[in-house]
């Protein structure tokens, strides 16, 4: 993995939504990041119901970004008395934020204050490679995989129960939605694993279908009329 890491820098769109200067795209819907995470990624993957009374449950996310999907998932898991014993969360990220920028961004969601503080206290040195962080006494295994997903994803050998496909739009960042990426996701999928994403682009649907996922559209969040869910055969 030879690509050097270029860190993200916290910028805001005119309406205050966090914006990537690298990709010219926002990190979440202007209607709310936490609500979007719950509607698209948790509900889209049938969570929390699908992890209940399981020993462990593994989630893979294609773009960590500001970490909202992880924080939202961790919070729901913590508050679920029937949760799985071990939550495994693997997140890929090419352009990570420094902990200080995460603190500023996360201040918009006071419900994440405790979890954000715990995560930032363990924030790794931002160098290419895999960084393992144990949270909640080891019951939450968080792995932040830094680098280009086209290089890091093929190195993973996990069995994944749910996928959060959350990169910048296919028009802005096509590599993260490519047939190559989708085939590698399918390689890691447990039988019956699910996926969810806000994107319904035709190229994404085709790449996922070709990789062995059955996909369908569902009502999207806020200004997005539709979203996509899928299941691996």
Which residues lie across from 131 on neighbouring strands?
A: 144
| Span 111-134, average pLDDT | 97
Q: Residue 175, Cβ neighbours under 10 Å: how many? A: 13
- Cα–Cα distances (Å) from 233 to 7, 185, 193, in that order, read 37, 13, 8
CA distances from 143 to 49, 111, 134 (A): 23, 22, 9
pLDDT (0 to 100) of residue 217: 96
Per-residue model confidence (pLDDT) at position 29 = 66
User: Among 30-44, 139-153, 155-169, 205-219, which is the least confidently predicted range?
Assistant: 30-44
Instruction: Kindly tell me if the per-residue pLDDT of 142 is higher than 70.
Output: yes
Q: What percent of the chain has pLDDT over 70?
A: 94
Give pTM, 2 decimals: 0.94
Q: How confident is the model at residue 1 (pLDDT cuts 50, 70, 90)?
A: very low
Q: What is the pLDDT of residue 17?
A: 80
CA dist 190 and 188 (Å) reads: 7
Q: What is the pLDDT of residue 2?
A: 40
pLDDT of 4 reads 62
Please say whether the beta carbons of 81 and 52 come within 8 A: no
Chain centre distance of CA 227: 15
Q: How crowded is residue 136: how many other Cβ atoms within 10 Å of its Cβ?
A: 15
DSSP letters spanning 61-122: ES--TTSHHHHHHHHHHHT-TT--SEEEEEEEESSPPPHHHHHHHHTT-GGGHHHHHHHHHT
> Which residues face 35 on adjacent strands?
none
Q: Which CATH number does the domain 11-232 belong to among 3.40.50.150, 3.10.28.10, 2.160.10.10, 3.30.360.10?
A: 3.40.50.150
The predicted-structure confidence for 165-214, as pLDDT tens digits, reads as follows: 998 778 888 899 999 999 999 999 999 999 999 999 999 999 999 999 99
The residue ranking higher by pLDDT, 21 or 29, is 21
Sort strands 129-135 and 140-146 into parallel, antiparallel or unpaired: antiparallel
pLDDT value of position 76: 98
Counting beta carbons within 10 angstroms of the beta carbon of residue 134, is it exposed (0 to 12), middle (13 to 18) or buried (19 or more)? Answer: exposed
CA 185 – CA 188 distance, rounded (Å) = 5
56-96 pLDDT, tens digit each: 999 999 999 999 999 999 999 999 999 999 999 999 999 99
Tell me the CB-side half-sphere exposure of residue 154, using CA atoms within 13 A: 7
All structural domains of the chain with their residue ranges: 11-232
For 79, other C-beta atoms within 10 Å of its C-beta total 9
Higher pLDDT, 9 or 204: 204
Nearest Cα residue to 47 out of 84, 16, 15, 11 = 84
């Amino acid at each position: 993995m030879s690509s050097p890491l270029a860190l993200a820098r916290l910028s805001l769109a005119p309406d205050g939504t966090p914006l990537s200067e690298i990709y010219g795209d926002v990190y979440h819907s202007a209607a709310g990041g936490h609500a979007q995470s719950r509607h698209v990624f948790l509900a889209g993957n049938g969570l929390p119901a699908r992890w209940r009374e399981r020993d462990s449950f593994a989630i893979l996310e294609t773009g960590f970004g500001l970490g909202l999907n992880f924080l939202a998932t961790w919070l729901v898991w913590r508050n679920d008395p029937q949760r799985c014993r071990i939550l495994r969360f693997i997140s890929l990220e090419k352009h990570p934020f420094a902990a200080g920028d995460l603190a500023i961004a996360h201040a918009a969601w006071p419900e994440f204050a405790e979890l954000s503080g715990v995560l930032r206290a363990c924030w790794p040195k931002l160098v290419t490679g895999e960084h393992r962080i144990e949270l909640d006494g080891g019951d939450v295994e968080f792995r932040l995989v830094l680098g280009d997903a086209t290089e890091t994803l093929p190195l993973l050998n996990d069995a994944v129960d749910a996928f959060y496909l959350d990169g910048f739009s296919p028009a802005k960042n096509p590599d993260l939605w490519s047939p190559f990426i989708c085939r590698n996701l399918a390689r890691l999928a447990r039988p019956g694993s699910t996926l969810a994403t806000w994107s319904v682009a035709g190229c994404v649907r085709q790449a996922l279908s070709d990789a062995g996922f059955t996909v369908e559209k569902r009502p999207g969040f806020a200004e997005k009329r539709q979203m996509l869910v899928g299941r691996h055969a």
